[in-house]
Amino acid sequence: MDLDVFVSAHRAEWDRLDALLRRRRTLTGAEADELVTLYQRTATHLSLIQSSAPDPQLIGRLTPLVARARSAVTGTRRASWRDVTRFLTAGFPAAVYRARHWWIPTALLSTAVAALLGWWIGTHPDVQASIAAPDELRELTRPGGQYETYYSSHPAAAFAAQVWTNNAQAAAMCLVLGVFLGLPVLWILFQNMLNLGIGAGLMSSAGRLDTFLGLVLPHGLLELTAVFVAAGTGLRLGWTVIDPGPRSRRTALAEEGRAAIAMAIGLALVLFVSGAIEGFVTPSGLPTWARITIGLAAELAFLVYVQVLGARAVRAGDTGDVEAAERSASVPTAA
């Protein structure tokens, strides 16, 4: 393509589009139709230049022009309570439901790894000795020791906020770093399972595994589920880099990335609930069975929420991505 001839042939159209955009609030009906036509033609021109003769200066001129025209044609929309309702009843549960083939195996394998680590640490005194000195281990595991007082060492509200912040950051890292082929996600997941295995192993060696589970299960069920969902989704995003399927890699990453970012918001809400349980229920004076029942109820409520609303939304065609009107427009590739 002769770029100079192409520019000479279409410069008047681009200038006309720019002029219409400058006074778009006072356009007549015919001029509004002309603006739409010129937007479509200019978007096509930009696509042709990018693919056939990528001149940086010309692309730098047409890209913002096309963006302004698209904004004028499609308009802008403010978020509303309808968006929040749709996200909570369709978008978020659909995203979690679609990722179930990744996060459920992740949860099962991770739990098995944590249990194996706990057994290994609990049955090998030499491994325990490499973790801490005998006096420190006794202080950790004794009745009223650090494992028990950890959950009541700070005011409940402040502790819940701190836990929520830390867990939300871990979940977000799993989702965002998944694009690096999922490798950072595996490391984050292993660190979480190692910490869980160390606690279970040390308390088990002291004959107090029941106490440990009574402290962890009330909040840990929902908290770990959220982490597993984030990790599974991050791994899926990493696999999309390797195998985008029938979509182009760019399109696949855009769609799955938007769904992952939306999931980070939803999981922050889930982790807020688990943080509240950890801050107010776990250290409370309630019987162990009552605390575990609260944790089980929260976990079952989340799973039912995903299964019922998520499956329904997926059957309706929802993928957890933003609505079609909010996605970037597909640029034509032919004149």
The one-letter code for the residue type at 193 is M
The answer to whether the beta carbons of residues 175 and 237 sit under 8 Å apart is yes
Spell out the per-residue pLDDT of the chain, length 335, in tens: 677 888 888 889 999 988 988 887 788 888 888 888 999 899 898 888 887 777 788 888 888 888 888 888 776 555 567 778 888 898 899 999 999 999 999 999 999 999 999 999 999 999 999 999 989 999 989 988 888 888 877 777 777 777 788 888 888 888 888 888 888 999 999 999 999 999 999 999 999 999 999 999 999 999 999 999 999 999 998 888 888 888 788 888 877 887 788 888 899 999 999 999 999 999 888 999 999 999 999 999 999 999 999 999 999 888 776 554 444 444 444 44
320: which residues sit within 8 A by CB, 6+ positions away?
91, 92, 94, 95, 96, 98, 259, 262, 263
Task: Residue 55: count other Cβ atoms within 10 Å of its Cβ.
Answer: 14
Query: Would you state the pLDDT for residue 287?
Result: 93
pTM (2 decimals)?
Answer: 0.72
Q: What is the C-alpha separation between 232 and 323, in angstroms, rounded?
A: 23
**3-class DSSP string for 221-252:** HHHHHHHHHHHHHHHHHHHHHHCCCCCCHHHH
